[in-house]
Amino acid sequence: MMFDELRSAVAKLESAIASGPIVPTVTPQEIRGYLASRYDFTTPLALDEVAADVEGMLRTWQVQVTHPRYFGLFNPSVTLASIIGDTLVAMYNPQLATWRTSPAANEIERHTLAWLGGKFGLPAGASASFTSGGAEANLSAVIVALTRAFPEYGEHGLGRLGAAPTIYLTGEAHHSFNKVAHMAGLGRRAVRTVGTDGQLQMDLGDLARRVAEDRHEGLAPFMVVGTVGTTGAGVIDPLPELARFCRAEGLWLHVDAAWGGAAILSPRLRGHLAGIEAADSITCDAHKWFSVPMAAGMFFCRHPEAVGAAFRAETSYMPGKTVGPVVDPYTTSVQWSRRFIGLKLFLALAERGEAGYVEMIEHQARMGDVLRAALRRAGWRVVNTTPLPVVCFTREGLDPATFVAALYERQIAWMSQVRLGAGAPVVRACITSFRTTESDIEWVVREMGRLT
């Protein structure tokens, strides 16, 4: 199968997006009126016409996250190989619930995940699966950790436990854990917020104090979450110390490396992830710094028996359990019917090779350094410390909300505002596109100077 038409459509789109607006100005009423006037689904329409119309809507009414000046929330530009991967998946529609239905797809995923799990330093027998994203991977981690720590949980629920289980993370960790605690029946108060040091990394003294206090109060601590690349400021928690603490206290260490996990490939950056090899489980998203289209998360766990216990399922309507050295994904993960999520990562890795990926990741890290330096030269104050390409900044008297609104209005760049710790809101810019160049950054910083 040749993908020449797709290749040239992608190339055309890339240059159209790079030279067009980044941020749309549209109201819900405008889009609803447009859809209502054209699509009542009573008369069939020509597919070419509808597809062109929808493409027009996406081109006009969307923040263009693949724009080189989208400095946003970890939404990447996507490689051609990964687009082809998703197209192939849609064409063949492999069902990933069982191994026997889609042997090729299952083995391609297993191969890809085993390779990446090895990079994280996990043992060969570790369990790994593709998920819809980081939130599902974090949900998986909590369910598996609960199942292992409290064997009664699976059959009898939390009500049977003598004490309420608790999770420890910082205020900078991803807020999916609050939803996870709600969904898992732990309740949102089970998420205990640990203090941070001056660089927003988890304060180990405070962690130890809170765990001890909670035990004293009759609660049942079972999990600590360390983040590699917090969403707001790109902070990496002190993983070796967390691993030591968790081992000594009998707690599950989950590392949420949804965005920053890709840095494990980089010889320049991977030292900052030291300690991740000791994690009980890891979240890493392919649809962030691995630059493939959504939705593609990954959940790794060094305890396959706990994963099997958490997600076990038996029915008469599913094909019989596949025997041999394989698993049926519906018995080892949250999802049942599942898309062949892993192909886009497999194809992109195969096409670029590890060296190509290292270059892509290190390019973005370098662009983060370029941005930091350009901002400082222009008199901005950078307020976060990280080797990863997230830069949070401000200047005396700046109102970040007004500032980012002006950036959008003049189509200079997409950035956001964020509140770090107990501080006032600041501006946040993350290099999420492998297409961002030094001249994009210099132009943006120059234009920003004209706004303030």
Interaction site with ligand PLP (CB under 6 A): 74, 133-135, 138, 174, 176, 227, 231, 256, 258-259, 285, 297
Residues 6+ away with beta carbon under 8 Å from 115: 349
Closer by beta carbon to ligand PLP, 341 or else 370: 341
CB closer to ligand PLP out of 259 and 357:
259
Task: Output 265 or 412, the one with its CB closest to ligand PLP.
Answer: 265
Least distance CB 229 / ligand PLP (angstroms): 6
Residue 330, Ramachandran bin (φ over 0: left; ψ between -120 and 50: alpha; else beta): alpha
We find the least distance from the C-beta atom of residue 16 to ligand PLP, in angstroms, to be 27
What is the Cα–Cα distance from 27 to 10, expressed in whole angstroms?
28
Measured N-to-C along each axis, helices 176-183 and 134-149 cross at an angle, to the nearest 10 degrees, of 50
Q: How far is the CB of 281 from ligand PLP (least distance, A)?
A: 13
Q: How far is the CB of 284 from ligand PLP (least distance, A)?
A: 10
- Closest C-alpha to 305, from 144, 166, 70: 144
Q: How far is the CB of 135 from ligand PLP (least distance, A)?
A: 3
Write down the least CB distance from residue 416 to ligand PLP, Å: 12
Q: How far is the CB of 136 from ligand PLP (least distance, A)?
A: 7
The minimum distance between CB 174 and ligand PLP, in angstroms, equals 3
Cα–Cα distance measured from residue 284 to residue 45, given in angstroms and rounded to the nearest whole number:
41
Beta bridge partners of 220: 165
> In the chain, helix, strand, coil percent, each to 5?
45, 15, 40
Q: In angstroms, what is the minimal distance from the CB of 289 to ligand PLP?
A: 10
Nearer to ligand PLP, 258 or 398 (CB): 258
Nearer to ligand PLP, 178 or 385 (CB): 178
Residue 387 burial (C-beta neighbours within 10 Å; 0-12, 13-18, 19+): middle
Tokens (6 digits) for 20: 């067009």
Give the residue with the Cβ less far from ligand PLP, 232 or 425: 232
Edge-to-edge order in the sheet of strand 127-131: 127-131, 297-301, 281-285, 252-256, 220-227, 165-170, 191-194
Closest among 279, 311, 312, 285 to 298, alpha carbons compared: 285
Dist. CA 276–CA 239, nearest whole Å: 6
> Given the complex with ligand PLP, which of 138 and 335 has the nearer CB atom?
138
- CA gyration radius, the chain: 23
- β-strand 425-430 against 416-419: which pairing, if any? antiparallel
Phi first, then psi, for residue 286 (nearest 5°) are: -75, -25
Residue number with CB closer to ligand PLP (219 or 255): 255
E strand or H helix at 221, and its extent?
strand 220-227
CA distance 345 to 341: 8
Closer by beta carbon to ligand PLP, 245 or else 259: 259
Comparison of 133 and 342: residue with beta carbon closer to ligand PLP: 133
CB of 278 to ligand PLP, least distance (A): 19
